[in-house]
Amino acid sequence: MKVIANWKMHGFKEDYLHWYKNLSKTADENLFDDLGIAPPFTLLDECKIHQSKIKLGAQNISHLPEGPVTGEISAAMIKNSGANFVILGHSERRELHTETEEVIKSKILEASNHNIHPVLCIGEPKEIYAAKKTEDFLYSQLQGSLNDLNNINLSIAYEPIWAIGTGDVAKPSDINKIHSIIKEICSREFDVKLENIIYGGSVNDQNSKEIFEQEHVNGALIGGASLDGHSFGRIANNFFEIHNG
Ligand code: PEP
């Protein structure tokens, strides 16, 4: 999946069907193979029951396989609910749940062991961006969460923290440059197969076309603008226009 809706902590059972109907009114269902949705855990079953075209993912998993860890959800459990990908290391989890690179690495391994595609989020805070130290920062995030892993198939979402939910989208040419650097680091330093590299941070139906046009951008991770089915559909159409048209 290349264009992913991250619903974060939004949505109730009755919302999904309405969202899907609006999405399919706006965008061509035959092209939905490249789309993904990561709803809250509570809606995984609902999404699975109502459609099978959009790839289904979770927003997190435990770094442990099973056991006495109250409140956690394992990779095997999301697999059992029909998920085939998982968003890992989102900046909100790093910040609010103090997730370390070491924990994120264990989660990548857990996902991979259960045949769930990891979408690893990395991105710099504003002060690092302002100090022009983005490259070093991303390098150390990648080093911390990918070092020592073997033969892992994953995608990366580059999400500058200052762009998430702020309306302050990164410049498309900068995104392109950072993506090419991330690709280069991954192929040089780690035993991973980078399936897609996607951008996240205030993507909407107005700015997505120019972002999708960039050579090293394979898709997008979308928060706020993905909650409305029509809006997500318009973003999907911008993607289809460039990649299928
Ligand atoms: C996100 O949280 O992954 C995200 C990209 O959010 P938004 O699109 O709202 O900036």
Mean pLDDT for all residues in the chain:
96
Specify whether 90 is catalytic: yes
Which protein residue has the closest C-alpha to ligand 1 atom 6?
223
pLDDT in tens, 109-125: 999 999 999 999 999 99
As a whole number of angstroms, the distance between CA 154 and CA 135 comes to 20
Spatial CB neighbours of 235, under 8 Å, sequence gap ≥ 6: 3, 203, 204, 205, 208, 220, 222, 225, 226
Calculate what percentage of the chain has a pLDDT beyond 90: 95
- Give the predicted TM-score (pTM) of the model: 0.97
The region that residue 167 occupies, defined by phi over 0 for left and psi between -120 and 50 for alpha, beta otherwise, is left
As a whole number of angstroms, the distance between CA 232 and CA 167 comes to 16
Atom number of ligand 1 nearest to Cα 92:
2
Q: Which helix (H) or strand (E) holds 118?
A: strand 117-122
Ligand 1 binding pocket includes 6 (Cβ within 6 Å): yes
Q: Judge whether 181 and 142 are in contact, CB under 8 Å.
A: no
pLDDT in tens, 64-112: 999 999 999 999 999 999 999 999 999 999 999 989 999 999 999 999 9
Q: Give the distance (Å) from ligand 1 centre to CA of residue 164.
A: 5
pLDDT of residue 49: 87
pLDDT in tens, 166-225: 999 999 999 999 999 999 999 999 999 999 999 999 999 999 999 999 999 999 999 999
Q: Give the distance (Å) from ligand 1 centre to CA of residue 201.
A: 5
| 3 state SS of 68 | coil
As a whole number of angstroms, the distance between CA 233 and CA 112 comes to 29
pLDDT of residue 244: 80
Q: How many residues does the chain have?
A: 245
Q: Give the distance (Å) from ligand 1 centre to CA of residue 199.
A: 10
